[in-house]
Amino acid sequence: MEQLFTPYKMGDIEISNRVIMAPMTRSRANKGDTADTLTAEYYRQRASAGLIVTEGSQISVQGRGYLFTPGIYNEEQVKGWELTTRAVHEKGGKIVLQLWHVGRISHPTLQENHGVTVSSVAVKAENSTCYALDENGKPGPVPVVTPRALSIEEIGSVVQDYVHAAKNAIRAGFDGVEIHAANGYLLEQFINGGLNIREDQYGGQSHENRIRLALEVTDAVSQAIGAGKTGIRLAPFGRLFDMHAFEGEEDTWLMLAEQLSARNLAFVHLSDQQTLGAQAIPEGFGTKFRNAYKGTLIIAGGFDKQSAQACLAKGDADLIGFGRPYISNPDLVERMKNDWPLTEPDRATFYGGTEYGYTDYPFYSK
Catalytic position from the list 43, 66, 73, 185: 185
Is residue 185 annotated as a catalytic residue, yes or no?
yes
State the Cα–Cα distance between residues 351 and 336, nearest whole angstrom. Answer: 26
State the Cα–Cα distance between residues 192 and 252, nearest whole angstrom. Answer: 9
Residues marked active site are found at 185
